[in-house]
Structure formats: structure tokens, C-alpha cells
A and B are shown apart, each in its own frame.
Chain A
């Protein structure tokens, strides 16, 4: 899992806090993704970036704000979250196109 790293691995936050999740890929890829994985639910795609440009936003609430400053780094800024936002947030990267994605270990988020 050294190809895609995510920090922090665990995060507990209150509903009024602001925090950020960080993802970094060391694979030379040019596409990056955020996914949400909740218990008993399929993996949900949140955002896609190709060559630093956001190409998909899967109807994600505005309390989640992505940022991709370069093709190696991806952030997910969080503010005024709800308890139902508690989940495992996974970052992935790939070459742009129909190639396999490589996943980070995830950030386990708990919203109190």
C-alpha cells in the first residue's frame, strides 16, 4: 500500500468541526478518485479528477469539498458533517482510461 497513502488513518470529529483528508499517490498516475464505503452499502464514487480537473461529482453534498492541486495529491475538505457521514473514505489513482485503480488504506471517519 505504499503506492497510495492516506492520512489520517482514523479521524473523529464533531459536527461543527472542519477537517481535511489527504491522499498522495507515488505511481505517476494522472487520475484520482474519492470513494465512500459505508457498512452494508456498495462502494460509492464521490469525485473523479483527470489531469487535476474534476470530471465527475456524483451528487455529493457540498459539505464535502475536494481539491486536487497536482496529479499526485488529492484532498477532501470536510465541514459541518452529519453522523451518517461516518464511513471509510478511500482514495484511489490510475492512469486516465480503463485501467485498474490502486487504492489507499482509507481513512476511518467518525462524526459525533
Chain B
């Protein structure tokens, strides 16, 4: 069965420091991987995705993610955090072999960036 894990409930970073939000996945075939961000009282916003190709994927707002097949990970990164990056981040996965289109989401990681 497909699954995605976000091992950290919360990540705390000082503004200007690099940030990493971790995600690992489990699928039977090749994965499609996504990151979303949710601000308070808002819906989820798409940040980036990995389908195939380069393992380093660049997305919105200066975020990037690195796909690592051997470690089954897709960690979200940003070189220099902003206070405005503080939000709830979700990793999601879809198995290419799945007939449906639904994504499986992780439980979310709260990112807190202090000034």
C-alpha cells in the first residue's frame, strides 16, 4: 500500500538559516511526489512536484526538493528561511501504477521561522 511519512511534527528555524522538512514514501512502483503548503484558514497551495528527470526539483517561493530513490525520500528545502514561510507543509505521493488519481498525504509538518 502507498504511504508517506513526515517524521517531524514541527521544525523550528531562525530566519536566514537553511530549512529542511523531511518526507519519506512507500509505493509499489515509481512515485509521483508533491509538496503543498497550508497557511491558517486557507486551502493547500501546490509548491512543487517530482515526476521524472532531475532529482532536484525547484518550485514556488524559492523552495526545492531532492528526490532520493535509494532512501525513498523527498525532502523539502530552502537555502534561507523567511518568517513568512511559517506554515503547515504536506508531502503527498501517488503511485504511477494506481488507476485512480487521488494523492496520499502525510500528516503535515508545522514550520516555524523565528525572526
Contact = CB atoms under 8 A, between A and B. Distances in A.
Interface stretch (B15-23, B79-87, B101-109): B101-109
B43 A96 contact: no
A98 B32 contact: yes
A101 B103 contact: yes
B107 A41 contact: yes
B102 A45 contact: yes
A105 B43 contact: yes
A48 B101 CA distance: 8
Interface in A74-112: 90, 92, 94, 96-106, 108
B49 A4 contact: no
A31 interface: yes
Given A1-B42, A105-B42, A98 B90 contact: no
B24 to A, nearest CB: 15
Contacts of A90: 43-44
Interface residues of B, number: 23
Contact of B101 (A6, A94, A103, A106): A94
A19 B115 CA distance: 44
A66 to B, nearest CB: 14
A105 B39 CA distance: 10
Contacts of A104: 43
Interface in B62-115: 90, 94, 96, 100-108
A50 interface: yes
Interface of A: 1, 4, 6, 31, 33, 41-43, 45, 48, 50, 55-56, 90, 92, 94, 96-106, 108
